[in-house]
Amino acid sequence: MEKETKQNSATQIKVFKALADPIRLAIVTYLKQQDHEVTCGEVGAVVGISKTSGTYHFKLLQAAGLITARKVAREKYVQLDPTTFEQYVTDFYKNL
Amino acid sequence: MEKETKQNSATQIKVFKALADPIRLAIVTYLKQQDHEVTCGEVGAVVGISKTSGTYHFKLLQAAGLITARKVAREKYVQLDPTTFEQYVTDFYKNL
DNA sequence: TAAATAGTTCAAAAATATTTGAACTATTTT
DNA sequence: AAAATAGTTCAAATATTTTTGAACTATTTA
């Protein structure tokens, strides 16, 4: 059974834009290492940004589909979404 | 024999920045379809940009290593560099 | 040799992206 | 109930990216 290969061009740009920034790359790197849900606060502390800046960057990553988020009481847990990486990054060149 | 996996983080950002733009994505798409050297003028005409804009976008793509360029008399021939795509895009997630 | 063609350079203008701090909501702790 | 904590919202300030046009170099064509 083959995988789905239809790409959304607006999403494609959002994905590359989201990854084209050192802070967001640091966030993604940390989330990959953890390989499980972590709070925005934890990630923000690790990469050294303010809460406000965190809100901004997590929003872009989520809009690109690169992370999923789950709000639990006052905390927000985030995690990478590997399927988006696969579809829009890993498979980018072959689907071009 | 394994492939080299050491990534340059400045290049990584340049690559994603270069791909995070609709015009440059159109350029890359056209170059992939052609699969051989074409002039900047031809590409520029296809994607509908001015010469000046072309110079700007080809410069970014080249600085990211996504295209190679060869000047022949007054024309500049460009072509994708698949190894950069492989190293910095296709293998990005696995090397994270 | 004059005119046309392919592309570059430069700086100013315009458009986008990012940072910042104050004020806010909602939840948890003391 | 007050204080602390986690995160959001908003608008202004700042920074970065992209576009534009005029002037330029080098090459080719008429």
A31-75 pLDDT, tens digit each: 999 999 999 999 999 999 999 999 999 999 999 999 999 999 999
pLDDT string in tens for chain B (96-residue length): 888 889 999 999 999 999 999 999 999 999 999 999 999 999 999 999 999 999 999 999 999 999 999 999 999 999 999 999 999 999 999 999
Q: State residue A2's pLDDT score.
A: 87
The DSSP bridge partners found for residue B77 are B39, B70
Beta bridge partners of B68: B79
Q: Which helix (H) or strand (E) holds A44?
A: helix A40-47
End-to-end CA distance of chain A: 21
Query: Is the C-alpha dihedral spanning B16, A30, A80, B2 positive or negative?
Result: positive
Of A66, A63, A76, the C-alpha closest to A25 is A66
B72-94 pLDDT tens trace: 999 999 999 999 999 999 999 99
CATH code matching the domain that covers B9-84, chosen among 3.30.70.3150, 3.40.50.12280, 1.10.10.10, 1.10.20.60: 1.10.10.10
CATH level 3 topology of A9-95 = Arc Repressor Mutant, subunit A (1.10.10)
Q: For chain B, what are the domain ranges?
A: 9-84
Q: Does B13 touch chain A (CB under 8 A)?
A: yes
Coil, helix or strand at residue B74 = coil
Report how far residue A25's alpha carbon sits from residue A86's, in angstroms, rounded to the nearest whole number: 16
Q: What is the rounded CA–CA span in Å between residue A19 and residue A27?
A: 10
Flag whether pLDDT at A96 surpasses 90: yes
Is B90 in contact with A86 (Cβ distance < 8 A)?
A: no
Are A61 and A18 contacting, i.e. CB atoms less than 8 angstroms apart?
yes
Span of A3-12, A36-45, A76-85, B73-82 with lowest mean pLDDT: A3-12
Which pLDDT does position A4 carry in this prediction?
A: 82
Look at A96 and B28 and tell me if their CB atoms are within 8 Å: yes
Sign, CA torsion A15/A18/A22/A26: negative
Whether A5 shows a pLDDT value over 90: the answer reads: no
- What pLDDT is attached to residue A3? 83
Name the closest residue on chain A to residue B66, using Cα atoms: A93
